[in-house]
Structure 1
Amino acid sequence: MKADPATQLRLLDLQVLDSSLDRLAARRRDLPELAVIAEHAKAVEALKADIVRVETEISDLSRTQRRLDDEIDLVRSRADRDRRRLESGQVGNARELENLQAELASLARRQGVLEDEALEKMEAAEELDGRLVTLAAERDRVQGELDVAARARDEAFGQIDAQAGDQRRERDKLAPVLPAPLVTLYEKIRASSNGVGAAKLVRRRCEGCHLELSGAELREVAAAAADEVVRCEECRRILVRTAESGL
């Protein structure tokens, strides 16, 4: 393939632009804020799930408390009714009197059991309320850090995208003025060579693979016509000769 020396040097300009775009893409992909966002988003979702579980427990506990309160009211109401009957003096039969007293004692025990259980549920509810407050505060804290990281990410994305836009516009101006076959070869090599399709020959060393050319390779490159597109024998990248090549 042929391309005059000036065109080959312009190919290096294209490589500079492409390398810059690759670095910007890598920077965008590897922003530290992205890891923070992923970690905090996961934490927020876990905290939200915990909050839902605690709210469900509180709701279930509230229903249990209402049931216990209703049972306690029923026991008290029945005990009050039996007590009034006992205090009225209307019960004259000894057996009936004994049964009424036994029922009052049973109701008192039942009320005690229910009130103890209600107290336990109330204490559990207070503990859950405290847990809910703690979880909500932690969720808000992590969400706040997530929002800060998201804003930093968006700001960084904006800067990177603006730089990439400038670089891409320069590339779009340069690529069409280069010979199409040369650009096609360059892009094919670049795709298979870690983004580098063309490299300088500097002091007998290929800047693509950073290996020094052998004496025979150097003589072959030096003997090639100035417009001959030469390639590195080691990495097969386009090797552009400059005043620094040491030929």
Structure 2
Amino acid sequence: MSNAATSLPATPDRRLGSVLDATAGVLLKHMPAISAGLGLIVLWQLIVWFFEIPTFMAPSPVDVFFAFQENAGILWANLLPTLLEAFLGFVFGNLVAILLAIWFVHSRTAERAFYPIAVFIKAIPIIAIAPILVLIFGNGLAPKIIIAGLICFFPTLVNMVQGLKSASPAMLDLMRVLSASNTEILWKVRLPSSMPFLFAALKIAATSSVMGAIVAEWIGSSFGLGALIIEATYNFRSPLLYATVVIAAVMAVILFFLVSIVEARVIRWKPAANH
């Protein structure tokens, strides 16, 4: 009887119960962070009320909430361009970084020639590069994607080079003894060993890409969250300003967790814990 019962297909009630259990588990796991966040919001509200801070200086959480309601259409319309710029910058910046890292690992000459140039470009403040790109490419999507990509590029390049070089020397020697080509060594040894390094960089890049897109919009744009931040600041619309900043932060956090989900699917093994 027990075997027959366990072989029955899951009913909708059982599936709903499993989903609720999983949701409850996630909430319980993140309860300290949720409690701390709610506590900070309450503290923020009390400080604004107690010190009677003017709304144009520091709106209360209630004011920000109403700003979300009153400007939902504006926020959504400006969210989409920034999301597109951040996503495309994330993809292209990381793709170029990964390809360069593979080239550097297979060519010491290329690494010695171009790695210092990458460091030099990274040393230039992105706020100084942005106007140059706007002058060259105009106020369209291109400069914003490039700036978002540049912010993502360097951390991924550094981590990916380190990850590709972290392959076990014994495994590399074994592959060479088996007459494996450089391509086979790359796919079967170097890339798998580089995955933890790569995803560590991608999680940084996921949040940085949003910052890059917003900075690019500050330089020259009439749309996007960056442009909305500038407009709200100049017009003293502080609740809208704070709401826009919250939207940008939530977008960055969501991108971070999406990369984390992909990481959990790709990297199945975990290093053994030291006892």
Please confirm whether the aligned pair reaches a TM-score higher than 0.5, indicating the same fold.
no
TM range, normalised to the smaller chain? under 0.3
TM-score normalised by the chain length of structure 1:
0.24
- Larger radius of gyration, structure 1 or 2? 1
Normalising by structure 2, what TM-score?
0.22
Greater relative contact order (CA < 8 Å, ≥ 6 in sequence) = 1
Q: Pick the structure with more helix per residue.
A: 2
